[in-house]
Amino acid sequence: MTVTAPVSGLLPALRRSAPVQAFASWKGGVAGTFLILVVLGALFAPWLTPYGFDVQNLPGAFQPPNLAHPMGTDEFGRDVLTRILYGARTSLSVSAVAIAISLFCGMVLGASAGYFGGRFDRAVMVAVDLTWAFPEILVALMLVAIIGPGTTGTLVAICVAYLAQFTRLTRAQVMALKSETFVEAARGMGASNAAILFRHLLPNCLGPVLVAGMLATGDAIILEATLGFFGLGAQPPTPSWGGMMSSGSGLLFKGPWIILFPGLCIALTVVAINMFGDALLHKLDVRERVRTA
C-alpha cells in the first residue's frame, strides 16, 4: 500500500469497526451469534412457526415439550415457542428503542450541560437527579401509572428511568475532556462550539456511553419483563416475555415449562448483551488498536 493512496473501501473499514472486531473475539462471537439468532427469530417469526401466537387450542393445553411443540403449550393450548418468538419482538424492540431514545437525549443533555456549565448545567442536573433519587422500577411504575399500561407507557418509563445514568455519564466525560489541551487547541484554530462538541468531545466519550447503553439494554429487558409481569406492559393477547412469565407463575407445578422458557430467554439474552457489551468496550478503546503502519 502506498502512503498517498487514500485508505478507503467499505470492506476494510467495516472490518476495522469496533462491533466487527468485538465479534471476532471468543466472548463477543458467542454472545453476538446468540443475539443475532434471537433478533432473526423475532423478525421471521411468522415464517418460522406454523402456529399463531393467539390461536387457542383448549384440548391441547398443558402439553409438555414434544416434537410438535418443542417448548410445550400454555394453559390455552398456545405454542410457547411461537409466543416466545413473537414476544421477543415486543421485549427487544421496546427495550432497544427506549434505550436508543434515552441514550440520544442523555448524550445531548449531558454533553451540553457539561460543556456550557453554569445555570443550564444546574437546571439539567437537578431535573435528572430527581429521577435518580428513586429506584428505576419505582420511576417506571409511577410513569406507567400516569400514562397507562401498554407499550407506549413502558417505552416512556424505560426512557426516563435510564436518562439520568446516560446524562451523568456523558456530562462527567465531557467535563473531564473539555479541559484537555486539544480542545483549547481546536478553539485556537477557530473551531466553533458545535465542532468541538461533535468532532472532539462526543466521539471521545462515545465508547463508554455506548457500552453503558448496551448494558442498560439488558437491564431494560428485565425492567420491561417486570412491568409485563405486573400486567403493566404489553396487553394480552400481545405476548411479551414478562407477561408470559406472569401467566406462567400461577401454573408453576402444572406446567413449569410455561414460565421456564421465557425466563430462560430473558436470562440468556441479558447475559449475551452484557458479554457483547464487554467485548465492545475493549475494542472501542483506540489505545488497544495496534499500529498497522
Partner 1 sequence: MSEPILALSGLTRRFSTGGGFLRPARSMTAVRGVDLQVARGDIVGVVGESGCGKSTLARLAMRLLEPSDGTIRFEGQDVTHLGGRALKSLRKKLQMVFQDPYSSLDPRYTVRDCIEEPFRALGEPVPPGRVEDLLDQVGLPRSFAESYPHQMSGGQRQRVGIARALAYAPDFVVLDEPTASLDVSIQAQIIALLQDLHRQRDLTYLFISHDLGLVRYFCSRIVVMYLGSVVEVMEDPHAAPRHPYTRALMESSFVPDPEARATIVPLEGEIPSPFALPQGCPFAPRCPRVQDRCRSELPQPTATTIGRVSCFNPIEA
Closer residue to partner 1, CB minimum distance, 8 or 133: 8
The span from the CA of 290 to the CA of 95, in Å, is 35
Q: Closest approach of Cβ 8 to partner 1, in Å? A: 12
The span from the CA of 257 to the CA of 168, in Å, is 41
Q: Closest approach of Cβ 111 to partner 1, in Å? A: 15
Q: Closest approach of Cβ 106 to partner 1, in Å? A: 21
The span from the CA of 145 to the CA of 238, in Å, is 20
Closer residue to partner 1, CB minimum distance, 83 or 200: 200
The span from the CA of 179 to the CA of 133, in Å, is 29
Q: Closest approach of Cβ 190 to partner 1, in Å? A: 4
The span from the CA of 73 to the CA of 202, in Å, is 49
Grid coordinates of 152: 407506549
Q: Which amino acid is at 84?
A: I
Cβ–Cβ < 8 Å for 269, 38: yes
Find the Cα–Cα–Cα–Cα dihedral 47, 53, 57, 62, rounded to 10°.
Answer: 110
Structure letter (DSSP) for residue 59 = G
Closer residue to partner 1, CB minimum distance, 187 or 254: 187
Closer residue to partner 1, CB minimum distance, 59 or 190: 190
The span from the CA of 275 to the CA of 28, in Å, is 6
Cβ–Cβ < 8 Å for 200, 161: no
Closer residue to partner 1, CB minimum distance, 13 or 68: 13
Cβ–Cβ < 8 Å for 280, 274: no
Closer residue to partner 1, CB minimum distance, 22 or 88: 22
Q: Closest approach of Cβ 204 to partner 1, in Å? A: 6
The span from the CA of 220 to the CA of 136, in Å, is 10
Q: Closest approach of Cβ 196 to partner 1, in Å? A: 9
The span from the CA of 282 to the CA of 207, in Å, is 9
Q: Closest approach of Cβ 1 to partner 1, in Å? A: 10
The span from the CA of 40 to the CA of 70, in Å, is 18
DSSP H or E stretch at residue 99: helix 80-116
Closer residue to partner 1, CB minimum distance, 199 or 254: 199
The site for partner 1 (CB under 8 A) is made up of 3-4, 7, 180-182, 184-192, 195, 199-200, 203-204, 286-287, 289, 291-293
Closer residue to partner 1, CB minimum distance, 186 or 264: 186
Q: Closest approach of Cβ 173 to partner 1, in Å? A: 13
